[in-house]
Structure 1
Amino acid sequence: MELMQAIRERRSIRKFDDRPVSDEVVARLMEAVMFSPSWANTQCWELVQVKDPARREGLQHTLSKGNPATKAIVSAPALFVICARLEASGYYNGKVTTKFGDWFMFDLGIACQSLCLAAFDQGLGTVVVGLFDHDAAGKVINLPSGYEVVAMIPAGYPAQEVKAPKRRPPEEFLRVDGF
């Protein structure tokens, strides 16, 4: 698949059919994450694939009321919890070097995009879930100190087709030589 086609056509999917996602497909998704760029190649991401139904239910209970991805946490054939190793990205010699502090959110955003685009290329749908109790989710997956849960990504073969929402055209957001 052409990259621009994947960028244009990938959508957030919350309803999946019950076909399993093979270990080979998961390996391709992890390869996409592995080759994602990161600050000074720190690769601060850690992913947990959650297969255990009880843990999935525990993660589902961490979602905020009304979150449209609530059912997907338990029903998606694959579920990934995206975690960050703290004080790595944006740090040199143990000291933060950016105005914005720890750079992990930027790096994990790239890794999530890589995973989602690779999933789309494999015929899968995904949704990046960020509205939940991150500390409670960390307890469900036994997250050690020095790490943060950042997002959850349910993945599977779409059971629905989703239309693209309206997008701002470049002339609304691109500025030349200054704001």
Structure 2
Amino acid sequence: MGVKIFLPFIGVYENYGRNDEINSEVTVMTMIDHIKNRRSVRDFKSDEIPAESLRTILEAVQHSQSWANNQCWEIIVLTDPVVKKAVQDALPQGNPSFNAIEKAPVVLALCARLEVSGYYQGVTPTKFGDWFMFDLGIVTQNICLTAYDLGLGTVVVGLFDHAKAARILSLPPKHELVALVPIGIPVPDAAVRDSPRKDMEEFIHYNGF
């Protein structure tokens, strides 16, 4: 089996031939390939995530961009089955990601410090107010693409009782729990939803709407 190389990081996928004899077949995986091919995964193996892989994902958070480099994020790494089960109970059972919270070996709870991002001298100079959702959106994308690069699956969970989950995780005042991201090794043939896309001509405008 050939080796997949991800540019610009030049990282070799752990589960794509690292232990096989390397031959001359090399597939170059660019960032746009990752963006196009990554899908939400909700069914995971019970295997733990290698510590090195988890650290790499957290490094992607560390180096995310943010408003004026405020770095407003706080990440809670959930690995304790008891804690994950308690957080799972904050989701409605009809949520497609309900079981993913318990099955994934790691769930990242993405939190933000309030009144930090989008602020200048105590006021918000834009009409959008607190900018934490923009910054956490960048963090979330970095997590998902980095995990995909490592052969791991993710799903972004936003539909749950945020206040209940925040109490379970003991969030301090002026902090907001934004999303949960289960991470793990996808089961073989894990069901993923088709993701049809609009033609670019439908949403791209030049020099005006």
Asked if these proteins are the same fold (TM beyond 0.5), I'd say yes
Task: Give TM-score scaled by structure 2 length.
Answer: 0.83
Give the Å deviation of 1:162: 2.5
Query: Partner of 1:47 in structure 2?
Result: 75
Cα offsets for 1:101-147 (capped at 9, x unmatched):
10000000000000000000000000000000111110111100010
Query: Partner of 1:138 in structure 2?
Result: 166
Query: Partner of 2:20 in structure 1?
Result: none
1:175 aligned counterpart, secondary structure: coil
Which of these residues, 131, 155, 158, is aligned with residue 183 of structure 2? 155
* Worse-superposed segment, 101-110 or 159-168: 159-168
Cα offsets for 1:64-87 (capped at 9, x unmatched):
231000001011011100000101
2:196 aligned with 1:166: yes
Unmatched 5+ stretches in structure 2? 1-5, 7-29
Correspondence 1:15-30 to 2 at 5 A: 15-30=43-58
Q: Which runs of 4+ in 1 moved over 6 A?
A: none
Query: Partner of 2:39 in structure 1?
Result: 11
User: In the alignment, is the contact (CA less than 8 A) between 1:125 and 1:157 conserved in 2?
Assistant: yes
Unmatched 5+ stretches in structure 1? none
Correspondence 1:13-162 to 2 at 5 A: 13-159=41-187, 160=190, 162=192
Greater relative contact order (Cα 8 A, min sep 6): structure 1 or 2?
1
CA distance in 2, matches of 1:41, 1:117: 21
Identical residues among aligned pairs (%) = 48
Query: Partner of 1:177 in structure 2?
Result: 207
User: In the alignment, is the contact (CA less than 8 A) between 1:9 and 1:164 conserved in 2?
Assistant: no
CA distance in 1, matches of 2:62, 2:84: 24
Cα offsets for 1:28-71 (capped at 9, x unmatched):
00111111110000111111001121211111111123100000
Task: Give TM-score scaled by structure 1 length.
Answer: 0.97
Higher helix residue share:
1
CA distance in 1, matches of 2:47, 2:36: 25
User: In the alignment, is the contact (CA less than 8 A) between 1:13 and 1:127 conserved in 2?
Assistant: yes
